[in-house]
Structure 1
Amino acid sequence: MTRAGEPLGTAARRAALRLLDAVLRRGEPLESALVLATRALHGGPDRGLAHAIAAETLRRLPDLDVLIDSATRNRLPDDAKARFVLRIALAQVLGLGTPPHAAISTVLPLVDGGPRKLVHGVFGTLMRGGAALPEVPTLPAAVADRWRAAWGEEAAAAAARAIAAPPPIDLSLADAAWGGIDAPSLAPAHRRVPAGSAVGELPGYDEGAWWVQDIAASIPARLIGRGDGVALDLCAAPGGKTLQLAAAGWRVTAVDASESRAARLEENRARTRLPFDIAIADVLGWQPPAPAAAVLVDAPCSATGIFRRHPDVLYRAHDAMVAEMAEVQARILDRAAQWVAPGGVLVYATCSLERAEGEDQATRFAAAQPGFTPLPAAADELPAGIPATPEGWVRTLPGMLEEAGGCDGFFIARWRRALT
């Protein structure tokens, strides 16, 4: 709600400020902070605007700070409200195309006294000087250094290019033969539509003909393939992989510890009308009634691989978090291995660009579980342009499928349990 005397649109900027504060100062995920930060807003458009401003600010944060620092005599503290407000104003003008007068007039009410004069002065100086953002954004230094060391200079450069704008939207089809959307297909049962598409207005939405799922996120279930036995999808919400398995004929139980995330599973089940069971439980304490022919461990992780859609992960994921997540993943993977029936398949996946949550985890598991044999991914199981590694794993990196719109960062490994 806009307060008396404030320019129209100020409330959305105030919500964007709350979102940035939640991410950068409290380490909260942007999506999780959205409900509380925007509760005073009326209508979806204002909430969408607040989210867009915050996300664009996070995509361009290092470059925005360089501009701000170039126009201030003394460097503003990282957590100063004046810096936050200037970031918001500049992100709107230089990233979202907002007219300068609208950007500055709607952020000035967010600061009082001297900081207001400072914000106005710095913004005016930058606008008069023709401030612009580089074509390729700058990654946060710690992230760039980590990914450069892990994957090389080109992958880090590709990651910077990838974050310049929101990526296209991938759809997984319940029926590969469905032709209701005329759009590029990068794999069987897949369509890719432009970024910003109104998902709920696309053909087939109400009928449940498809669901939103990045092409890389579809690979784990592709490696399980078709079947008519029992499959477990662990840490399953929001449920894209569950839906794939159900559409492929499996009798699926989707397990997730979060009631709110399980609600997304319920929504997807209702819309697609695909049959599967839901168990709200912590997999470290849950026990299936019997071993399963296929077990998919979609393990909780730092989520650095989805930075294109969720730029907040660039500022929330750090070494300590990655190490903590790796410990949890190891416990879940070892427990899940007990639930694979003899001759069954185990697939491990994370949407992470960190080796500790991917390659290192698979190496550890192989050494600890001699009863499981690596089952390398075959070329005909993977989207064109995404190869298997020499070990038979799948590692999607920035730069893959770039000309077609890219893909999220994922790691996937597959094993078969011995018959005896």
Structure 2
Amino acid sequence: MPARRAALKLLDAVLRRGETLDQAEAGALRGVQAPADRALARAITGETLRWLVDLDALIDSATRQRLADDTKVRGVLRLMLAQWLRLNTPPHAVIATGLDLLAGGPRRLAHGVFGALVRQGVTLPDVPTLPPLVATRWGTRAAAIAAGLAEPPPLDLSLRDPAATAEWAERLGGISLAPGHVRLARGGAIEALPGFAEGAWWVQDLAASLPVRLMGAGHGRRALDLCAAPGGKTLQLLAAGWEVTALDASRRRLGLLGDNCKRLDMWAKIVVANALEWEPEEPFDAILLDAPCTATGTARRHPDVLHRISPAQIEGMVDLQARLLDRATGWLKPGGTLVYAVCSLEREEGEAQAPRVTLPPRPVGAEELIAGVTPTAEGWVRTHPALLAEHGGMDGFFIARWSAP
């Protein structure tokens, strides 16, 4: 029951208050002590959000009068169906735990709707149905993207020593899709995996590793990781031989970078500052701007983004990104490299943003990318969740690169 109560709170926080799952967890999981219960609450909520449109369609098919979206009984039925259809929980166990969430409420209605759907043997489609506004925004890309959202993602690791890729893939029982990368099946405690304590790797989605791969080896040159937290790309830059300044406004999230630097025995100059106000003492050889964005490209692991991102939020992010790009272009040495990246599937944050940069473009070549990822005609990079689907997909990213004259 603690896991189910927490899942209902998480769902309400996302759909009613517009919080991210990460933001909602502090309150919703308070008092849920067992790691297994906390993991179950996240799994129930994640699958409910991933398949929300299809779960609602099933609920509506079994009611004479449509239940309002914000009613508790609809929320409970969503969770019950997700447990049965996605987590393979037996119907009797779903009923036993689900109806208790409606103490003093319409338990009989929930029991009747769920029971009717079980007797009908209903199923979910192979691919989640996107919310209408999201499908409209993504246009002709929507079907391909949706195909990559059906399952939570595998676990990607970036290695401190790319030369040891084959060794770590074998030791961890995973596969490698690029030098310095190992992909594992989901499940299990990350801290218990071989190599964690000794600092051999860190967790980072394969798509998130592409921007730094396009910056090359550092050979001791100076790089700025702008908006660096939580720091996966800073670690990549350090491993590639760059002398790194990692800047971010969030002291808490930069603390995660500091912890990882200690674990991996690496050092970066960590600066807590607002990038719109901070000024460097001298220009850099390279700048990575992994800009704040709507993060819709992370929908595989954060399905809440499918339901809480509005046009106003996109517009606000586009404005912030443009201001950050304007500042970053003035901090490069002659011949220096600027890489811009967002984990967003919104064209406004990527394809429409890049042409505004006044620096000479430095197009990405196919030979610089991993197998299965190709540059666009403009020399940009666009990934989406169904890319490399045979191996578990990847996050949605947009990446562009320029050189200072």
Q: TM-score, normalised by structure 1?
A: 0.92
Give me the whole-angstrom Cα distance separating, in 2, the residues matched to 1:388 and 1:257.
32
Post-superposition offset of 1:116: 1.7
Of residues 134-143 and 324-333 in structure 1, the stretch that sits farther from structure 2 once superposed is: 134-143
Q: Distance in 1 between matches of 2:228 and 2:277?
A: 16
Alignment of 1:309-320 (within 5 A): 309-320=301-312
CA distance in 2, matches of 1:30, 1:120: 28
Matched, 1:45 2:32: no
CA distance in 2, matches of 1:388, 1:283: 29
Q: For structure 1, list consecutive stretches of 5 or more residues without a partner in the other structure.
A: 1-9
1:174 corresponds, among 141, 156, 160, to 160
2:378 is matched with 391
Give structure 1 regions of 4+ aligned residues with deviation exceeding 6 angstroms. Answer: none
Q: Does 1:416 align with 2:403?
A: yes
| Aligned residue type for 1:104 | I
2:233 to 233, 241, 245: 241
Shift of 1:389: 0.9
SS of the residue corresponding to residue 293 of structure 1 reads strand
* Aligned residue in 2 for 1:102: 93
Instruction: Indicate which of 293, 297, 306 corresponds to 2:285.
Output: 293
Distance 1:26 1:82 in 2: 18
2:354 to 359, 362, 379: 362
Counterparts of residues 7-406 of structure 1 (less than 5 Å): 10-148=1-139, 152=140, 155-178=141-164, 179-182=167-170, 183-227=174-218, 228-365=220-357, 369=358, 372-406=359-393
Query: CA deviation digits over 1:201-222, x for unaligned, max 9?
Result: 2221111111111111111111
303-312 or 185-194, larger mean C-alpha shift:
185-194
1:273 Cα deviation (Å)? 1.3
Corresponding residue SS for 1:172: strand
Amino acid at match of 2:177: L
Give deviations 1:281-305, integer Å, cap 9, x for gaps. Answer: 1111112221110100010000011
Aligned partners of 1:172 and 1:212 also within 8 Å? yes
For 1:346-374, what per-residue CA distance to the aligned partner results, in whole angstroms no more than 9, with x for missing partners?
11000001111001110112xxx2xx211
Structure 1 residue 147, shift from structure 2 partner: 1.0
Distance (whole Å) between structure 2 residues aligned to residue 180 and residue 301 of structure 1: 33
* Residue-by-residue CA offset, 1:155-195 (whole Å, 9 max, x unaligned): 32222221111111111111111222323221111111112
In the alignment, is the contact (CA less than 8 A) between 1:71 and 1:126 conserved in 2? yes
Superposition deviation, residue 269 in structure 1: 1.0
- Larger CA deviation: 400-409 vs 46-55: 400-409
Report how far residue 197 of structure 1 moved.
4.7
Secondary structure in 2 matching 1:57 = helix
Specify whether residues 180 and 399 from structure 1 end up closer, same or farther in structure 2 by C-alpha distance, changes over 3 A only. closer
SS in 2 for 1:218: helix
Q: Check whether the contact 2:168–2:182 (CA below 8 A) recurs between aligned residues.
A: no
Does the Cα contact within 8 Å between 1:137 and 1:161 map onto a contact in 2? yes
Query: How many residues get paired?
Result: 399
Aligned-pair CA distance for 1:14: 0.7
- Give deviations 1:23-73, integer Å, cap 9, x for gaps: 111111111211211011112111111111100100110111011111111
**Residues 395 and 304 of structure 1: CA distance in aligned 2, closer, same or farther (over 3 Å):** same
CA contact (8 A) 1:187 1:382 kept: no
Measured after TM superposition, the shift of residue 225 of structure 1 is 1.1
Q: Which amino acid aligns with 2:227?
A: C
- State TM-score, norm by structure 2: 0.96
1:309 partner amino acid:
R
RMSD over aligned Cα, in angstroms? Answer: 1.3
Determine the C-alpha separation between the residues in 2 that align with 1:112 and 1:203.
Answer: 45
Specify the SS of the correspondent of 2:401: strand
Rounded to whole Å, the distance in 1 between the matches of 2:110 and 2:398 is 44
**Cα distance between partner residues in 1 of 2:113 and 2:303:** 26
Q: Give the conservation status (yes or no) of the 8 Å contact 2:149–2:385.
A: no
Unaligned runs of 5+ in 2: none
| SS in structure 1 of the partner of residue 47 of structure 2 | helix
* Alpha-carbon offset, residue 114 of structure 1: 4.6
